[in-house]
Structure 1
């Protein structure tokens, strides 16, 4: 939304909380209560007739549950309302075909989080250069790490303010993610060149101008298996392998239905810590890389990939078993680890911030078509790293990822860019319908 020469911008800022052990237990109780509230709401939704599945009835059920169950009463009322709004929005996304239907949340597989929808309840105050204080409902005043300026005090107004926050727990502990709305001057149009980007596994980002970007870590091991832990150094990989073997050995001693031992949970926590460290390193690389791309190029073109379909299992059925299941499983892990969707999301808001634009083009045949002659000939991609056109009149040979990036940019210049919606290029199509093919 623009107002003259200014534009409203919404972003999030995450900071680490410093909580005593007693406050950590209270925050854990609130997170478990929020997850239980979601599961109770989902069970209520499934039991009620369709005519009575309304927000008013769900709100009344939530209020009654908080009055009857002491465990749910530890969750603030505003946080309980946020659970209801999030659940209802999940169903709207399902009805619009943007996501699958919501389901129950598991204790160990779901992220522990508590929403604080009212920004005025936070009462943020900066203590000194490195620390700040924030008021959290049912927890009181707690400290957090101050790493960037926030619109508080005399700097806060209707256009520059904190609209809310969310408490999130990971292996490092509890963090608070502020939702910030600011009014900034609109950026001038970016005069940089156009570039097509092809996301891959062996080469993370291949650019159409040849300035390929690599994270300096091998995508595959020598035996052909995907390296899931490429963001860890050799010592950390050895430690992770030892912990995984230790966890497998201790799990053998757990009988079905028996409660998991504390030693096994401690081993799982150590494994989770190493995985989280690798994720943080990858996200740091993604942020730095996408920022550099947004500053250098005015128009960025990427493929409209349906990643969920690309990482489906190849096991098949009993009647029709799949082929090359192990190789497909390794490829799926590599695709998931590269997090292409997160890279595109970062490029979308960073290009807009620097005055550029992100466009998406249809993905089919971008890696099979020759960028020199435009024909698709069988056998051109016999080698994953090299593209050799089999057209007798062409004989074009180049890097396979660079060839795909050239095709992506060419589709945009020919007018095949998908229609952007709400400031970002997305693909809207009905569920269970094949994506359109490129001509």
Structure 2
């Protein structure tokens, strides 16, 4: 008796580092500036026209005319210009649908330089080495890129497994290319792994209810008690970063108000951005590896529904009612932002789905203050950020505070307090026959 394997379409992205020559890097810079300028011109044209004269065809004609009249706008390929138009109209659709803010002017210092390549057939990808591949960029030529993942190219490419397009993105570490990949793969079978509750913390990044915690091996605070904002850098890189920041401060104090930033100061800022980008890359790499191992091991993952935006608000208060412990709260906010809890949950969501598992969210209030052994919330049980000692005379359980919260998170799910999004909000789903309970 044969069983049919269910196939499903999967779309994902893969980012690789490019190795362009200096001449090719300048050409990509010109295309990125042209794409940003075209967006700004399109935005001004759209906002100045009356509503009855706005249309996609009129915008397309305006872009074609601008590319003919302005020479340096012609550096952008025609298909990339059409991608700018499509992205701008999609931004307005997201605004009208209530999913995003209206599109705005893209300033040069605060905009990520990027160019879209909508047609996958223009890339002509080939693998020339175990670690390197070659990709064709329109109006630039062949460029090497780092081969870190098998891509559906050559004989492996088909109508179901192919690269549909790409996007060039520049950050402080240089130019990268993000491929858009479409594949057809077998639907995963239900994961038979155990259940686990996860609590995201500052001292312990990911505390698991079964005690198999995940730590990145870097202390969140310095010996003097302040938050370590550069924990992903080694001591030599930290010393270099401190020297660059002091150099930038000295050069900045000699600049008059309204004066243009000097070339030396811009170069110092660029070196600082490189070190910051390197630290971010290491943090994301740790998150990817950690979430992948968790998704492969556990079939059901339970996390808290956190409102991180409210958690990182400043404690300064108002002039009439100033806040307390402002510096300590600012350090805690920096530590929370560095851990990037929202990005961790996003990774766990799609990775558990690929492995056949499921991710659930439970209400967050009370999980860190309630004892996981007796289920009673006693004032004073939470001693600092790392220790929990139950003050209930009949219990007296003690342990790591994040581990205690992770056990409470899993218990809430088992008692039927999982949240299900309904019409843009979260509703509580309880299994039939299970009554709500707050204590063991």
Contact 1:18 1:142 in 2 (8 A): yes
Q: Which residue number corresponds to residue 272 of structure 1?
A: 273
Q: Which residue number corresponds to residue 66 of structure 1?
A: 67
Q: CA deviation at 1:304?
A: 2.1
Superposition RMSD in Å: 2.6
Compared CA separation, residues 228 and 322, structure 1 to 2 (3 A): same
Q: 1:416-431 to 2 correspondence within 5 Å?
A: 416-419=417-420, 428-429=424-425
Q: Which residue number corresponds to residue 353 of structure 1?
A: 354
Scaled by the length of structure 2, the TM-score of the pair is 0.88
Compared CA separation, residues 96 and 338, structure 1 to 2 (3 A): farther
Q: CA deviation at 1:239?
A: 0.9
Deviations 1:211-268 (A, max 9, x none): 1111110101122221010011111111110110000100111122222111111111
Distance, in Å, in 1 between the alignment partners of 2:335 and 2:280 is: 13
Compared CA separation, residues 266 and 396, structure 1 to 2 (3 A): same
Compared CA separation, residues 130 and 389, structure 1 to 2 (3 A): closer
Distance, in Å, in 1 between the alignment partners of 2:53 and 2:377 is: 55
Q: Which residue number corresponds to residue 309 of structure 2?
A: 308
Q: Which residue number corresponds to residue 434 of structure 2?
A: none
Compared CA separation, residues 243 and 125, structure 1 to 2 (3 A): same
Q: Which residue number corresponds to residue 329 of structure 1?
A: 330
Distance, in Å, in 1 between the alignment partners of 2:389 and 2:99 is: 38
Distance, in Å, in 2 between the alignment partners of 1:365 and 1:209 is: 20
Distance, in Å, in 2 between the alignment partners of 1:290 and 1:191 is: 18
Q: Which residue number corresponds to residue 164 of structure 2?
A: 163
Distance, in Å, in 2 between the alignment partners of 1:27 and 1:15 is: 16
Contact 1:97 1:429 in 2 (8 A): no
Q: 1:156-195 to 2 correspondence within 5 Å?
A: 156-195=157-196
Distance, in Å, in 1 between the alignment partners of 2:55 and 2:175 is: 34
Scaled by the length of structure 1, the TM-score of the pair is 0.88
Structure 1 SS opposite 2:418:
coil
Compared CA separation, residues 59 and 396, structure 1 to 2 (3 A): farther
Structure 2 SS opposite 1:163:
strand
Q: Which residue number corresponds to residue 379 of structure 2?
A: 378
Contact 1:359 1:420 in 2 (8 A): no
Compared CA separation, residues 302 and 223, structure 1 to 2 (3 A): same
5+ residue gaps in structure 1? 422-426, 431-437
Q: CA deviation at 1:183?
A: 1.0
Q: Which residue number corresponds to residue 234 of structure 1?
A: 235
Structure 1 SS opposite 2:382:
coil
Structure whose alpha-carbon radius of gyration is higher: 2
Distance, in Å, in 1 between the alignment partners of 2:102 and 2:326 is: 28
Structure 2 SS opposite 1:162:
strand
